[in-house]
Amino acid sequence: MTLSVRAIALLAIALAAHLLLISQSAVTVTFVDVPSEVTRVTRFEWREGLVPREIAAPLERAATSLLVSAPPGLQSAVLFYRGDGAYAIDGPFPWPAAPSRRRAPDAWRRTIAGAIPPEVATDAVPTWLGGDAAEPVWPRCFRKDVGAWQCLGVSPNRRGIVALASPGVLWWASVDTAAGAPLRRAGWGRVVAIDSGDRDDHEVKTTFAYPVAPPSERLATVRLGTAPVSTAESVALSSGLLWIVGPTPPPMAWLEIRTADSGPAYVSLQELSEGLPSTPMYVRLLPHRTLTGRVTAADGQPAPGTLVTVFRAIDPRPAPGNSLPPRRVFTAETVAGADGSFVIDALGEADYEVVAWHAQLGRESLFVQPAQTTIAVTLRTAGTARGRIVSSGQAVAGIDVVSVPDMTTFNAARDMTDVKGGDAKTDADGRFSVMLASAGGGELRIGGAGYAVRRVPLPRPAAASLDLGDIEIAAAIDVTIVLDREVACGVRAVGPIGRAGLQVITAVRATTGTFALSVPEAGVWQIGLLCTAEKHALSPASMQITPAQAGKELHFVVR
């Protein structure tokens, strides 16, 4: 359709009237104390969650003041630019209905931008995480288009997190420069705010761990090992502010937080992962505890050399009447000194158990109260086994006496220290004394130092005092391993197979293709090669070795 000259004239008149109306309704805001570095000023229409839209506005500068005119009521932000591209922001604020004065801001900021991977949902909106209470408004992040994000108003040298939450996926990047880092994929992320008291300049140390699931035959155990959660990360955003991120956490996993003077505090990764990334979890670090104690034997004498181990409960305290003990994980370990004293440093606010174990004097387990800093431990034993080791009627010194639990009791035990008795070496007269396991049973494995192993069964329940008398041991079974051809490898034997307390024995090269092997116990032994370059195996891979083979050759084929 073609407009007539008259229609065009009428349209021009209407447009001029509209512009006149706008100019008459515009309200001037005078910004005072404008920094001298400001070279350019722009005004943006502010729409929450959307990229700000630049609006032309009449500007007038007079000395250190700047006059900006705009229609009243419009939500606006005014940016004051320096020559290097940095800017200060005033706003967002509703443009006033009457002329007013505002002090120009002087906190210089910058814009950070980055790319968004194509697989990120189109409705995922970027969020800046890592600000502080002094800056509740800035930075603000926007999605410029499908493939880019932008954060406006970032303070210089401030590290932050840009996060975009898609269904079931969190995309994030740690940024501290004008160029945004590539977004990374994670299962969850969370800001953790740390209160460590008056000191906020200490480096915060974090550790991720989870309890190691025991083998299927040890499901009843209450004392578990730990393993690191290597896929979880901690990013320090500022003093006392962390970004924690990772995949779906393993069951019962935790975050340990400490500083030089405070903590540790333990935070459930499951609990962390269930919160919104922008909702901080607040953690208060209390001054760490030092636990001192002294270990004595049942007669009150010091128990030097006692192994003192601390475990932390990872299950809630059982309800009254529930005898099922909470599961625990290793925390710290030390050995009691000459006077029986020990020190365990840097305990946090948690339920701890102290387990003391001495090979001859007994064991004890005590729980530590939350505020407790000293502890006295008295060792107790279910019984003591004594005896003398002889060979051909002569006492033998330096022989190992090792308590070994039977496998059935071991697999069913909740507490490993209940099934482990003491260990010792025979003295100059061949005598020994070891404590018996609380659960009783098991056996003493006696031998070594060129002598064959002798196994002595122990009673269940444990006897208060068990005199085993003289125990005769024989010489080890010395055999010669003969290979069908020479290889640049050593020979190793592992066994006896099927018995508790496997041993690894290395043979000594004698001549070309032959090795001297001292077997400490009759039974089935696996014989293999130790090679550094080529890989070889022996046939047969295992062999029954008995005292009848002492002094004989055992032949193997190298494959």
Question: Looking at residue 13, what is its pLDDT?
Answer: 46
Average pLDDT on 195-199 reads: 69
Question: Looking at residue 22, what is its pLDDT?
Answer: 44
The two beta strands, 362-368 and 87-94, are unpaired
Lowest mean pLDDT among 227-236, 269-278, 402-411: 402-411
Question: Looking at residue 131, what is its pLDDT?
Answer: 61
305 Ramachandran zone, left/alpha/beta (phi>0; psi -120 to 50): left
Band (pLDDT 50/70/90 cuts) for residue 305 is: very high
Q: Quickly count: other Cβ atoms within 10 Å of residue 403's Cβ.
A: 22
Q: Which CATH architecture has domain 384-472?
A: Sandwich (2.60)
Q: Which residues are bridge partners to 61 per DSSP?
A: 66
Average pLDDT on 527-541 reads: 87
Q: Which residues of 519-532 are buried (b: 16+ CB within 10 A; e: fewer)?
A: bbbbeebbbbbeee
Q: Quickly count: other Cβ atoms within 10 Å of residue 292's Cβ.
A: 12
**Whole-angstrom distance, CA of residue 119 vs CA of residue 167:** 11
Question: Looking at residue 19, what is its pLDDT?
Answer: 42
**Whole-angstrom distance, CA of residue 128 vs CA of residue 175:** 10
Beta strand spans in 201-306 (E): 205-212, 223-228, 233-238, 241-246, 254-258, 265-268, 281-284, 289-296
Residue 548 DSSP class: G
DSSP 393-447: TEE-SS-EEEEE--HHHHHH-S-GGGT---EEE--TTSEEEEEPPTT---EEEEE
For 24-106, CATH number?
2.60.40
Residue 204 DSSP class: P
Percent of the chain residues topping a pLDDT of 90: 38
Q: Quickly count: other Cβ atoms within 10 Å of residue 511's Cβ.
A: 10
**Whole-angstrom distance, CA of residue 491 vs CA of residue 431:** 34
| 543 three-state secondary structure | strand
Beta strand spans in 273-379 (E): 281-284, 289-296, 307-313, 328-335, 341-347, 352-358, 362-368, 374-378
Burial environment of residue 379 by CB neighbours within 10 A (0 to 12, 13 to 18, 19 or more): buried
Lowest mean pLDDT among 207-211, 315-319, 401-405: 315-319
As a whole number of Å, the CA-based R_g of the chain is 38
Token pair belonging to 13: 């008149």
Contact criterion met (CB below 8 Å) for 308 and 293: yes
Helix (H), strand (E) at residue 23: helix 5-25
Given a cut of 50, whether residue 7 has pLDDT beyond it is: no
Question: Looking at residue 201, what is its pLDDT?
Answer: 58
**What tens digit of pLDDT does each residue of 434-459 get?**
888 888 888 898 987 788 888 899 98
Return mean pLDDT, the chain.
Answer: 85
Q: Quickly count: other Cβ atoms within 10 Å of residue 559's Cβ.
A: 11
Contacts of 472 (CB under 8 A, 6+ apart): 390, 391, 454
Band (pLDDT 50/70/90 cuts) for residue 270 is: very high
Average pLDDT on 318-344 reads: 87
Burial environment of residue 485 by CB neighbours within 10 A (0 to 12, 13 to 18, 19 or more): exposed
Token pair belonging to 15: 């447009």
Backbone angles phi, psi at 64, to 5 degrees: -95, 15
Token pair belonging to 532: 């550094």
**Whole-angstrom distance, CA of residue 466 vs CA of residue 52:** 87
| 461 three-state secondary structure | coil
**Whole-angstrom distance, CA of residue 15 vs CA of residue 557:** 104
CATH 2.60.40 fits 477-558, yes or no: yes
Q: Which residues are bridge partners to 235 per DSSP?
A: 243
Nearest to 277 by CA among 461, 458, 485, 129: 129
Given a cut of 80, whether residue 1 has pLDDT beyond it is: no
| 119 three-state secondary structure | coil
What is this structure's pTM?
0.70
Contact criterion met (CB below 8 Å) for 203 and 263: no
Backbone angles phi, psi at 93, to 5 degrees: -150, 150
**Whole-angstrom distance, CA of residue 149 vs CA of residue 158:** 18
Question: Looking at residue 100, what is its pLDDT?
Answer: 93
Which part of the chain is CATH 2.60.40.1120? 289-378, 384-472
Token pair belonging to 251: 């069951």
Q: What angle do CA 306, 310, 312 make, to 5 degrees?
A: 165
Cα 548 off chain centre by: 54
Contact criterion met (CB below 8 Å) for 210 and 227: yes
What is the CATH topology of the domain spanning 289-378? Immunoglobulin-like (2.60.40)
Strand order in the sheet with 87-94: 53-55, 40-45, 75-81, 87-94
Contact criterion met (CB below 8 Å) for 95 and 27: yes
Question: Looking at residue 218, what is its pLDDT?
Answer: 52
